[in-house]
Amino acid sequence: MIPPIASKFVAGESPATALDHARSLNERNVNAILNLLGEHYDDRGPADEDAEAYVRLLEDIERSNVSACVSVKPSQVGLDVGEHVYRENMERIVDASGDTFVWMDMEDHETTDATLDTYERLAHEHDGGVGVCVQANLKRTREDLERLADVPGKVRLVKGAYDEPEEIAYKDKERVNEAYRDGLAFMFEEFDGGIAVGSHDPAMIEYATELHEEHGTDFEIQMLMGVREDAQYELAEEYEVWQYVPYGDKWLSYFYRRVMERKENLLFAARAVLSG
Ligand code: FAD
């Protein structure tokens, strides 16, 4: 069972608890991006099992009538085992997705090419029913955005969660913010919709809304469960908002990561538990 302190960031261990959480978000006009926790499998067995779990989750979503999609980590469905395993499992998931959208998360820089190649192929085959994440801290991302502009899918721009070498990544926070703004400006100018702003940063969200007013391009805002939830509900009154909702029994390392990236998260979770 997930202790109350972690349950601010993780929706539970089963798909049913994740769907319950999605339902309660929908009541507040927020949509859910469901992510089964798991990554870096070295063997094909667990990668295939998680792919199968996503197929079942997609069936549950179709049946449940909730506004939800899924987001899959490449190394969770076999990228560390081999690119062909990742491709086969992603194909299986997307083939089973029906009308439900499928996102691919982005992991460290060694996975970028394989992730984008698979995304591009599936996006063309499935007429845009898939999306991919790109990271503003990587110097290559501007070129990747140019490549992705004409692909029929969605792109989530994030700042980047991995500690990358300085030859290929911006390390300075301000430089990453600048690259994020540049990325947003390019997307709003060149993309035909399909823009996802994956950030909690009020300055980036405000900039995105300004670009939306200037160019009229459609976009959505994505934030994590447990982070700035009041802002999510408020933004949802005016914009399309999606909350990234992790669930599953591998919640401990995810909770640890949230706390390590921002120590206030621990205080915040503790306060939320104490205040009921
Ligand atoms: P930061 O630069 O961390 O913070 C900027 C400002 O935002 C802060 O000053 C504060 O005002 C506000 N803020 C940030 N966090 C909090 C908080 N906990 N509480 C209150 N205010 C806060 N990374 C990947 O590498 N690959 C992925 O696939 C990926 N997917 C993601 C999906 C979603 C939906 C989101 C939201 C993030 C994802 N990330 C991913 C993580 C991302 O790369 C960043 O590490 C993370 O979002 C932190 O950057 P930020 O833009 O939110 O804000």
> Which architecture characterizes domain 15-275 according to CATH?
Alpha-Beta Barrel (3.20)
Which is the closest atom of ligand 1 to the Cα of 262?
Answer: 18
**Mean pLDDT score of the chain:** 94
| 141 close to 179: Cβ distance less than 8 angstroms | yes
Q: Considering only CA atoms, which residue is closest to atom 33 of ligand 1? A: 198
Distance of CA 88 from the midpoint of ligand 1 (Å)? 30
DSSP result, 151-172: SSSEEEEE---S---TTTB--S
Pairing of strands 68-72, 130-135: unpaired
Distance of CA 141 from the midpoint of ligand 1 (Å)? 17
Q: What is the percent of the chain with per-residue pLDDT over 70, rounded to a whole number?
A: 96
Q: Which residues of the chain register pLDDT less than 70?
A: 266-267, 269-276
Q: Which amino acid is at 61?
A: I
pLDDT tens-place string over residues 58-105 = 999 999 989 999 999 999 999 999 999 999 999 999 999 999 999 999
Number of H helices, E strands in the chain: 10, 8
Pairing of strands 240-247, 30-36: parallel
Distance of CA 43 from the midpoint of ligand 1 (Å)? 30
- Residue 58: per-residue pLDDT: 98
Tell me if 220 CB under 6 Å of ligand 1. Answer: no
- Residue 128: per-residue pLDDT: 87
Those residues whose C-beta lies under 8 Å from the C-beta of residue 222, and which sit 6 or more positions away, are: 33, 156, 196, 197, 198, 241, 242, 243, 244
Q: Which amino acid is at 48?
A: D
Q: Considering only CA atoms, which residue is closest to atom 41 of ligand 1? A: 161
In a mutational test of the pocket of ligand 1, which residue from 200, 243, 244, 262 has the highest number of ligand atoms less than 8 Å from its CB? Answer: 200
Q: Which residues are catalytic?
A: 105, 156
- Name the residue ranges covered by the structural domains of the chain: 15-275
Closest CA to 107 of 160, 152, 157, 60: 160
Q: Which amino acid is at 213?
A: E
pTM of the model: 0.95
pLDDT tens-place string over residues 23-36 = 999 999 999 999 99
Distance of CA 244 from the midpoint of ligand 1 (Å)? 11
In a mutational test of the pocket of ligand 1, which residue from 158, 178, 221 has the highest number of ligand atoms less than 8 Å from its CB? Answer: 158
Helix, strand or coil, per DSSP, at residue 130: strand
**What tokens appear for 179 in the block?**
């690259």
- Residue 1: per-residue pLDDT: 79
